[in-house]
Amino acid sequence: MALNVIMMGPPGAGKGTQAGRFARDRALLKISTGDILREAVAAGTELGLQAKAIMDRGELVGDDVMIGIVRERLDRDDARAGFVLDGFPRTVAQAKALDGIMAGRDPLIVVDIPVPVAEIVRRLASRMVCENCGTNAVPGATACAKCGGRLVQRTDDNEAVVRERLAVYERQSHPLVDFYRTRPTFRSIDGAQTPDHVAADLAAAIEAAGAALGGRA
């Protein structure tokens, strides 16, 4: 049984870090929509060129283009054995499209990682990222662990911008959480804990969701 996991949570919840950690522990493919979007743009694919034109206008990439890029990535052979998906879906329309993409494959396990607003603001105010590759830095690091690049603070990590991003996320996420909540493979874990505790709860939640399918995660 392939292990197909979606990580959900607000900006600053640590879902990207947890997705990477879980994927490494289980030898799974981690698929970040930010990464595959940049990859499609760099490769000059038809969808990548569409996405570049949209971003060059300062607009957000819409559902149709993102769905197409994710479809192309999940159709590759290396995704057949399972994956951890970070950053998609963000809307109910994307979630419905993902169900169509997954038709005939093993079910999705969906994990939501909620974190209180005050804790997210505190985290993001001190967050550093690599100016070269965009990787989030481990607290206390002096250089990027991935490429050795210089660490900087994101310009959109000030409190006012963070609160607006969280408000947008809340408007989008409530319908999305409701869309998945009734599924036997949906789990929610406390993201306000230490990273190690979140990782332990995440592994246990995915194990339980796999058991609910009669399989083994």
Catalytic-role residue among 15, 21, 73, 187: 15
Catalytic-role residue among 26, 52, 122, 127: 127
DSSP-H helix ranges across the chain: 15-25, 33-43, 46-56, 63-74, 92-101, 117-125, 159-181, 195-212
List residues bridging with 86 in a β-sheet.
7, 32
CB 118 within 8 A of CB 202: no
Residue 21 catalytic? no
Nearest to 206 by CA among 136, 106, 97, 130: 106
Catalytic-role residue among 26, 80, 122, 154: 154
Burial readout 188-198 (b: 16 or more C-beta within 10 A, e: otherwise): bbebbeeeeeb
- Cα atoms found within 13 Å of the Cα of residue 29, Cβ hemisphere only: 17
Residue 127 catalytic? yes
Residue 80 catalytic? no
β-pairing, 186-188 with 108-112? Answer: parallel
177 sits in the region (left: phi over 0; alpha: psi -120 to 50; else beta) called alpha
Distance (Å, whole) CA 91 – CA 167: 14
Residue 146 catalytic? no
Catalytic-role residue among 21, 30, 73, 90: 90
Q: Using CA atoms of 33, 38, 42, 47 in order, give the dihedral in degrees to the nearest 10.
A: 50
Residue 171 catalytic? no
Catalytic-role residue among 26, 52, 71, 165: 165
Enumerate the active-site residues. 15, 90, 127, 154, 165
